[in-house]
Amino acid sequence: MTLAMTLGMTIGVKRSMHMMWGELLGVALVAILAVIGVATIMLKYPSAFATLKYLGGGYLIYLGIQMWRSKGKLAISDSAGSKTNMKPLQLASQGFITAIANPKGWVFMISLLPPFINPEQALSPQLSVLVAIIIITEFSCLLMYASGGQTLRLFLQKSNNVRLLNKIAGSLMIFVGFWLALG
C-alpha cells in the first residue's frame, strides 16, 4: 500500500496501474501458496498449525507495536519524483517483487486464510473464491492509496501525521494479531 501511495503521488494513478497488476499477481501467488501449504499442514499436523497461528498472531502484534513506536520515518519528501522514468514492465516487476518478498504478506495470508478453508470440501473452488475476494479487495485498496493525490501528499509530508497514521494502523494490526492468536 505504501508503494501504491508513493507511486500515486509521484507518477499518478494511471501509471501506477502497471505496478498494481504486478502486485496483484504476486498477492494471488502468495495467497495460493500460503493456503496450499497451510492446508497441508492443517490436515496432517493440527498442532503445528496451532503453533503457526500463534506465531503469526504474535508477529502481527510485534509489527503493530513497531508501528506504534515509529517516529514518522515514512514521511514523503518533496524530491519523491525519482520513479518517473520507470517503464511499465519495471513498475509491474516492482509490484510483483514487493508482493512476494513481503514477509508480512506471507504471515498475514498464512494466519488469516486457513480458517476459511473447509477441509471436507474441494480446495479449488474455495481457493478460487478466496483469491478473487483478496484480489478485488487488494485492487480497491491499491487504487484508493494511489488516488490519495496532492492532499494526502501534503498530509504525509509532516511526520506527526505519519505517526498518527502508524498508531491507528498499528492498533488495528495488534487487534488482528490477538484475534488470530486467540480466535
User: 11 in helix, strand or coil?
Assistant: coil
Average pLDDT value for residue range 44-55: 74
Residue 113 and residue 31 in contact, taking contact as beta carbons nearer than 8 Å: yes
pLDDT of residue 151: 59
Q: Is the per-residue pLDDT at 143 higher than 70?
A: yes
- Residue 148's pLDDT band, with cuts at 50, 70 and 90, is confident
pLDDT of residue 42: 66
Q: For residue 119, give every residue at least 6 positions away whose Cβ sits within 8 Å of its Cβ, in sequence order, or none.
A: 39, 42, 43
Q: Is the per-residue pLDDT at 133 higher than 90?
A: yes
Residue 40 and residue 146 in contact, taking contact as beta carbons nearer than 8 Å: no
Residue 176 and residue 88 in contact, taking contact as beta carbons nearer than 8 Å: no
Q: Which three cell numbers stand for residue 88?
A: 511499465
pTM of the model: 0.65
Query: Which of 48-52, 123-127, 137-141 is predicted least confidently?
Result: 48-52
Return mean pLDDT, the chain: 79
Report how far residue 180's alpha carbon sits from residue 53's, in angstroms, rounded to the nearest whole number.
7
Average pLDDT value for residue range 8-18: 84
Residue 75 and residue 9 in contact, taking contact as beta carbons nearer than 8 Å: no
Sign of CA dihedral 128, 37, 59, 48: positive
Q: Is the per-residue pLDDT at 80 higher than 50?
A: no
Instruction: Tally helices (H) and strands (E) across the chain.
Output: 8, 0
Q: Which three cell numbers stand for residue 11?
A: 507518477
Residue 31 and residue 110 in contact, taking contact as beta carbons nearer than 8 Å: no
